Amino acid sequence: MNTYLLTVPRCQRLLFLLITTMLSFLFIGCGGDSIRKVTVTPGKWPPPRPVQPDSPSPPVVPSPPPVTSPRPSLDSYTVVIDPGHGGKDPGARGLSREPEKNIVLKIARQVARKLKQRGVNVVMTRNSDRFISLDARATLAEQRHAHLFVSIHADATRKRTVYGATVLMGRTASFQSKRAAWLIRKSLESHDVFCRKSRQQQLRVLENHSRPAVLIECGFLTNRTDARNLNSSWYQSEIAAAIAQGIETFLTRS
Ligand code: ZN
């Protein structure tokens, strides 16, 4: 402390010290390097976190596979597939290269194969070119307690302009027979097969047993377009897929 300060009164000394102290703080605060400057970049808040190159990356957890419900097996169902005619009975011919018995056997085999792939217990009334009576076919449906009996045929008429598939039922068709006919017809239509009006008529192969039963006329062999289609493998495959799908829908919704 200098001698000047010792000569002034005590209160003035205190005031002098206070002012010099404040001035020193102001000087250091404005020009000193001891205070860190914080720079805030506009639009970047919060600031990015420091990168830690050695920190382990989080483990990759594989997403679970999508849950899909498998189609239920139809192994508790029995379906009798009945290719019409056979052996000494060729069926209709019309404009067809092959007789009805051969065409319907090819379609029936494909229907049977598709149903077996879904687990259905399929019984064929014939699987070769042999004659089977109508009563024997009907008896098979009864013996096997068929959930559905499906007879497969091709049509014929004197009018060559008539064409299209037809799903038939017996005169005394049960509710289940009518339901099967409706579902198979819907499936045929969804496969772009033109269908004529379904109807009931006297058919021994459908009426001489108690099981649900339908008869499908796959088209007219007396119509040029239908005959050409029915002799082609692609159309046989297409109509077989439609029939099988209709049967499958009938079984799964019963
Ligand atoms: Zn026939």
The CA 78 to ligand 1 mean position distance, Å, reads: 23
By the 10 Å C-beta count (0-12 exposed, 13-18 middle, 19+ buried), 69 is classed as exposed
* DSSP code of residue 92: -
Global confidence as pTM: 0.73
Q: Residue 124: pLDDT above 90?
A: yes
The CA 218 to ligand 1 mean position distance, Å, reads: 10
Q: Which residue has the higher pLDDT, 101 or 34?
A: 101
Domain-embedded: residue 70: no
Domain-embedded: residue 177: yes
Domain-embedded: residue 19: no
Q: What is the per-residue pLDDT for 7?
A: 53
Here the CATH number for the domain that contains residue 128 is: 3.40.630.40
Q: What is the per-residue pLDDT for 3?
A: 47
Overall number of domains in the chain = 1
Domain-embedded: residue 101: yes
Q: Residue 9: pLDDT above 80?
A: no
The CA 93 to ligand 1 mean position distance, Å, reads: 10
The CA 154 to ligand 1 mean position distance, Å, reads: 5
Q: What is the per-residue pLDDT for 97?
A: 96
The CA 90 to ligand 1 mean position distance, Å, reads: 9
Distances (CA, A) of 185 to 6, 35, 143, 196, 212: 123, 90, 27, 9, 15
Q: In which domain, by residue range, is 248 found?
A: 78-252
The CA 139 to ligand 1 mean position distance, Å, reads: 19
Residue in 115, 77, 84 with CA at minimum distance from that of residue 216: 84
pLDDT in tens, 48-80: 565 555 556 666 767 766 666 667 789 999 999
Supply the mean pLDDT for the chain. 86
Domain-embedded: residue 209: yes
Section 232-236 average pLDDT: 98
